[in-house]
């Protein structure tokens, strides 16, 4: 249990000589007191210095007497926790609660007595810091480390004994320009009365481990209220940021997969053109846009003649190859604004927004001019098999169809273009029947 400081209610008169040549009374006052204690005159010169002060600050009484107190222990830095930070002779931080009294000597001179409490182990300020798992480091105005708690030792991988009294930059692999900018910004905020908190800092420990920190700081003030240091509080958010990065990567991957799945469901798996549902969706939007803009909207439909016979005679792989080849040809004839889709087995449709009648007719002619890229073998073909070709038609969407409900306009347009394809099929059959039959290379090529 610590002894209470002498009861010196100002003004107090201390008997005996009060000068440097005979400070024995003052020495006797403090000699048995367990906490560091001293007495200074109005000029700040030490008149008495007890053994606890000598042990705490590293200055013997003969060395301390007659010297300015500030040269021995530094100017006290106060904190919001009520403690002070002082300096050992070797530069290490000394913390505790500083209590001051005033007294007068027999000649009426002013005496100032000081006592630093709770310096056994860590002072109250540092003990308060020890309760925190965050890194807490105190620095003076020159960014020299005055103290650090156990959380700081663990975070930075250093020992307090190795870094106290040294520049904070020696605690880690500092980027000097970046560190100087952080410190300059921090002290400028303090001088302007602004807070300095929630600052994210990328840094590297002395052992090479990279850290992402969130930092905040509070100002330490001297006796005149000027900024003389800071308490830096840092929290390691590296695992949190790594988790956030992993989640972002996973989210992007999931979105990419979902987008790919949507594209797969909206595209015909065999030919790559739009699926029936996507084509109807694009046609619905095109009808609404045509109603709003007044521009023409035409729809082309095409069937492969003789496709079923190919499947029956040569098998489905050959039929699939024909569908793929025709789909590639169809897309190659279309403008970028068009949407081609597959409605059924060998049924295709194309939404052609904004095209004139002449442009649509040109596309129709090129589409119907398609023939298989390679002749089908004569073996396996039946005489009744229809020649492979394309029947197609184009219709112009009516105003009533453009302004119709979601399903009505789409069904009406597709039904009319289907009728146009049926007419084209009839004309093609009639032309084929009227033409002289041939079993030669020309027929096989078609």
Q: Give me the average pLDDT of each 10-residue run along the chain (446 residues).
A: 40 33 54 78 88 88 91 75 76 79 74 69 49 80 83 87 83 77 87 88 89 88 78 87 80 71 70 90 91 92 88 83 92 93 92 94 94 66 68 93 85 93 88 61 37
Q: Are 310 and 370 in contact (CB under 8 A)?
A: no
Task: Enumerate residues 6+ apart whose C-beta is below 8 A from 160.
Answer: 147, 148, 152, 153
Q: Is 170 a domain residue? A: yes
Choose among 440, 333, 328: nearest CA to 378: 440
Task: Enumerate residues 6+ apart whose C-beta is below 8 A from 141.
Answer: 187, 227, 228, 229
Q: How many domains are there within the chain?
A: 3
Q: Are 104 and 110 in contact (CB under 8 A)?
A: yes
Torsion angles phi and psi, residue 130, rounded to 5: -65, -25
Q: Is 9 a domain residue? A: no
- Where does residue 72 rank: exposed (0-12), middle (13-18), buried (19+ CB within 10 A)? buried
Residues 198 and 293 in one domain: no
Choose among 209, 246, 213: nearest CA to 232: 213
Alpha-helical regions (H) of 143-271:
150-156, 160-163, 176-191, 238-266
Q: Is 125 a domain residue? A: no
Residues 310 and 340 in one domain: yes
Range of the domain at 421: 269-445
Distance between CA atoms of residues 218 and 195, nearest Å: 8
Listed residues 67, 86, 117: the one ending a domain: 117
Residues 291 and 428 in one domain: yes
**What is the pLDDT at residue 24?**
57
Determine if the pTM surpasses 0.75.
Answer: no
Choose among 70, 72, 61, 63: nearest CA to 27: 61
Write out the DSSP string of 64-132: HTTSBHHHHH-PPEE-TTS-EEEE-TTS-EEEEEEEEEEEE-TTS-EEEEEEEE--SSS-HHHHHHHT-
Both tokens of 258, joined, read 């979902």
For residue 230, the domain's CATH number is 3.30.450.20
Both tokens of 185, joined, read 């910004």
**What is the pLDDT at residue 408?**
87
Residues 273 and 336 in one domain: yes
* DSSP 8-state class, residue 13: B
**What is the pLDDT at residue 326?**
93
Respond yes or no on whether the N-terminal peptide bond of residue 79 is cis (omega within 30° of 0). Answer: no
Task: Enumerate residues 6+ apart whose C-beta is below 8 A from 228.
Answer: 75, 77, 140, 141, 220, 221, 222
Provide the sign of the torsion angle of the four alpha carbons 135, 141, 143, 148, taken in this order.
negative
Residues 279 and 385 in one domain: yes
The radius of gyration of the chain from alpha carbons, rounded to an integer in Å, stands at 46
**Distances from the Cα of 42 to the Cα of 27, 45, 110, 208, 397, angstroms:** 18, 8, 6, 51, 103
């Amino acid at each position: 249990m610590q002894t209470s400081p002498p009861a010196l209610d100002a003004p107090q008169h201390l008997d005996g000589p009060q000068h440097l040549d005979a400070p024995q009374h003052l020495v006797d006052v403090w000699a048995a007191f367990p906490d560091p204690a001293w007495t200074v005159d109005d000029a700040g010169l030490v008149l008495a210095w007890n053994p606890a002060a000598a042990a705490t600050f590293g200055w013997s009484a003969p060395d301390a007497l007659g010297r300015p107190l500030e040269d021995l222990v530094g100017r006290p830095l106060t904190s919001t926790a009520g403690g002070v930070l002082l300096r050992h002779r070797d530069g290490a931080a000394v913390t505790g609660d500083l209590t001051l009294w005033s007294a007068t000597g027999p000649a009426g001179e002013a005496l100032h007595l000081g006592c630093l409490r709770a310096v056994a182990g860590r002072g109250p300020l540092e003990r308060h810091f020890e309760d925190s798992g965050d890194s807490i480091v105190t620095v003076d105005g020159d960014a020299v480390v005055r103290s650090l708690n156990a959380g700081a030792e663990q975070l930075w991988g250093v020992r307090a004994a190795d870094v106290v009294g040294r520049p904070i930059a020696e605690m880690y692999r500092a980027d000097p320009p970046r560190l100087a900018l952080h410190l300059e910004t921090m002290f400028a905020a303090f001088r302007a009365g602004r807070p300095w908190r929630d600052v994210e800092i990328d840094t590297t420990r002395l052992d090479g481990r990279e850290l992402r920190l969130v930092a905040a700081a509070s100002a330490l003030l001297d006796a005149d209220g000027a900024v003389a240091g800071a308490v830096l509080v840092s929290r390691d958010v590296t695992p949190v940021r790594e988790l956030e990065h992993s989640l972002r990567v996973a989210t992007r991957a999931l979105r990419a997969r979902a987008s790919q799945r949507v594209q797969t469901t909206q595209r015909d798996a065999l030919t790559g053109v739009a699926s029936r549902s996507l084509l109807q969706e694009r046609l619905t939007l095109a009808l609404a846009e045509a109603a709003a803009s007044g521009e023409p909207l035409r729809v082309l439909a095409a069937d492969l003649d003789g496709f079923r016979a190919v499947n029956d005679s040569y098998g489905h792989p050959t039929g699939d190859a024909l569908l793929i080849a025709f789909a590639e040809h169809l897309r190659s004839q279309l403008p970028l604004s068009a949407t081609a889709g597959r409605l059924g087995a060998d049924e295709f449709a194309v939404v052609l927004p904004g095209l004139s009648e002449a442009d649509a007719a040109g596309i129709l002619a090129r589409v119907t001019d398609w023939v298989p890229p390679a002749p089908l073998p004569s073996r396996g073909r039946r005489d009744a098999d229809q020649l492979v070709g394309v029947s197609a038609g184009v219709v112009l969407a009516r105003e009533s169809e453009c302004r119709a409900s979601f399903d009505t306009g789409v069904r009406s347009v597709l039904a009319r273009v289907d009728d146009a394809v049926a007419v084209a099929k009839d004309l093609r059959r009639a032309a084929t029947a009227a033409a002289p039959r041939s079993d030669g290379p020309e027929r096989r090529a078609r």
